[in-house]
Each structure stands twice: as C-alpha cells, then as structure tokens.
Amino acid sequence: MRILSHYFIARFYGSFLTVLVAAMGILATVELVLNLEELASLRDAEGSTGPAGRLATSMAFLWTRLASLYLSDLLPVAAFAATFLTFAIAGRQLEWIAIEASGIRPLRVILPVIAAAGLLGIGAGILGETVVLRARHIRLVENRFDPDEIELERRAFWYHRGPIITNIGHADPAARTLHDVELFERGVGDDSGRILRIIRAPAVRILPDGRWHFDEALVWRFDPKDPLAEPRFENARHLELDLESVPRNPLENADPAIAPLETLAHYVSSLADTPSPQGRRLAQAYHQRLSRPVSLLALCWLALPFGIHVDRRGRFAPAATGALLALSGYFALSSAGAALTRLTAIPVGLASWGTPVLALILAGMALVRRRV
C-alpha cells in the first residue's frame, strides 16, 4: 500500500512540475515578446556585454516579472491540473480497476495525494512570502528605465522622482535644458499626498552634478496643517533643487499590502478601530495571503471528482471541460467576493476563506455521490 501511495504522489509532483514549467515557459515567451524594448533599454542601462551578460540580464528581468505577476496564481492552477492528471491517467490506464479488484478503497490512494497537496500548499505559502514578495518589491522599487536619467528627446512628458512630480513641456538635449516646467512637491509621512510646493519656470538647466537650476521661478508654498490657508507666493531667482536629496527608493515599503505578513498584521490590527477603505484593503490582502495554502488544497480537492471521472474509455475531453469550468468558477467567485469586499457588501475575509471552503464542500459532496 505504501508503494502504491508513493507511486501516485510521485505522479502528482511530476505532473505539477511539468505543468508549472510549461506555463512559466509560455508566459516567459509572451513577456519577452511584449517587453523587448524595455529589455533592450535595461541591457543598455546595465552595460551588459557578451552573450553571457545579456542572457543573465534577460533571465533576471523575466524571472522578476514572472514571480511578481504570475507565480502566486500559477502554483494553485498547476496543482489543480496535476491532481486532475494524476487520477485521470490512472482511470485511463485501468489502474482504478486494478486497485478496486485488489480490495483497496480508492480513498486510501486519494488521501496521501491530498496530504502531498497540503504540503505543497504550505510550500506555496512560504514561497509567496519570500520569493514572490521580494520580486514585487524589486518591481516596485526599481525603475527599469533608470529614473535618474531624463529622456531629453521627448516632448510634453511627466517626470516622477520620490515625492516630486514634474510636467515638462519640452526638453533640449544639447543644452541640457527643460522648458515650460511645472513641479509639484508632495509631502511624506503624515503629510503624504498633500501638495507642499508648486514651482513654475519657463526654463530649468540640469547641472553636471544632476541639480536643477531655476534662473527664474514662481513658487507657491502650502501649509499641510491648514489646507484652507492661503498659499505663500514668491518670485524666486537662482533656485536650485537637489534631486539627490530625494530618497532613491521612495516607494519601498510604502504599501503595507506587500510588507511581510507580520508587519501587515500589525497594520491591520492598528486600523481595526477606525474603519476605512485603506483598512479594508489591507485586511483583505492579509486574508488573501494567509489563505493561500488552503486555497491550493481546496483546488486540488476540487479537481478530484473530475479526475476520477475518466474511465477506461479514456474520454478526457468531458472531464477536462468540467474541470476547466470549475476552475474558472472558483476564480470568478473569488474575484466577485473581493469586489464585494471592497464595496463593503460582505465582511472582510469572507471571500478569501469562504471560496475554498465552498469548493471543499462541493467536491466532497461529489465524491460521496461517487462512493469513493
């Protein structure tokens, strides 16, 4: 019996890795095609030379995008597909008939695979809190187009550096001069999001050390403590702005939703007494991340009735279609629950935990009907 369980567990993990690698390969190809220009700019910025350097830069770029954008969703989907394939192949190869003929209940084969799926869910949760979280920080913090360099060939564009947002009408690359500049300086910390200063100038020279020099500028200063107060106005001459004083990673840890789980829990508990959209959003993110292992396990359990539906006639299509519809319904229900949570129509956490619990119940009822 132990050998039989190991056989099915090995098939489950093998199918999982196959599906995951295939999906990652397809997505990597799509990302590479869609982001060739960005990748070329990244190679130039990093000075990658030689085939090895270019390959390393490309792999790092693709891995960061795949891990931050897709990996959290790919893991449960790959586990769902692996569970379906594990038992569908067994049905097609008449292994179920041999097992039942030996007097072994199918449940004794199913439960070890589900236990393996549970371990996989725990691993996916750990991966989400380490690798995925790190990749999201990298994408958030690092500007792949090098934010320290302004594209001086462009016309009428926005430039963002830390709390400073600038609208530039035209740039002269030869003279290193910006024309028709309007700069907005926002507050940080407790004053985050509030405008502290507005600077308008017909021309700004970018000095060799990176500082911005305003020969003439109109400056409005605002009191963040009193939004209704009249702004202070001055006509400034020879004003310089040192962007090096702006934090290089202004977005790092700015959003608690991508903070470590313990930090996020602290934010959620601190905002519990003062209900707000921000508090609900953070609480929702907390429950989504905390329920990842359960979601993966629920999807594996949901795939079971469709996998064991494949018999010796080998008709994959009907069972695979049903499994695909069930998977789509699961994610549709989860997305609808998240939307209702944002609209305060349902309690926070209900969608994150209720969707996998519902999947477990429905799949369990289907297995009972089949007398597994």
| Strands lying side by side in the sheet with 195-206 | 155-161, 164-172, 177-186, 195-206, 212-221, 232-241
pLDDT value of residue 160: 74
Q: At 193, is the pLDDT very low, low, confident or very high (cuts 50, 70, 90)?
A: low
The predicted-structure confidence for 52-87, as pLDDT tens digits, reads as follows: 777 887 888 889 899 999 999 999 999 999 999 999
Measured distance CA(313)–CA(319) in Å, rounded: 12
Q: What integer pLDDT is reported at residue 250 of this predicted model?
A: 38
Tell me: pLDDT of 248 over 80: no
Query: 151-165, 244-258, 314-328, 352-366: lowest mean pLDDT where?
Result: 244-258
Q: What share of the chain is helix, strand, coil (3-state, %, to 5)?
A: 60, 15, 25
SS3 225: coil
Under a CB-based contact definition with an 8 Å cutoff, are residues 372 and 107 in contact?
Answer: yes
Instruction: Quote the pTM value.
Output: 0.69
Residue 315: its H or E element: none
pLDDT at 244: 60
Pick the more confident residue, 83 or 250. 83
8 within 8 A of 113, measured Cβ to Cβ? yes
Binned at pLDDT 50, 70 and 90, residue 200 comes out as very high
Which two tokens mark 252?
């790092």
pLDDT at 245: 58
Report, in angstroms and rounded to the nearest whole number, the Rg of the chain calculated over CA atoms: 28
Span 263-272, pLDDT tens digits: 888 878 877 7
Amino acid 38: pLDDT:
72
pLDDT at 287 > cutoff 90: yes
Q: Tokens standing for 102? A: 């030996």
Would the pLDDT of 30 be above 60? yes
Q: How far is CA 101 from the centre of its chain?
A: 47
Task: Report the C-alpha gap between 77 and 94 in whole angstroms.
Answer: 26
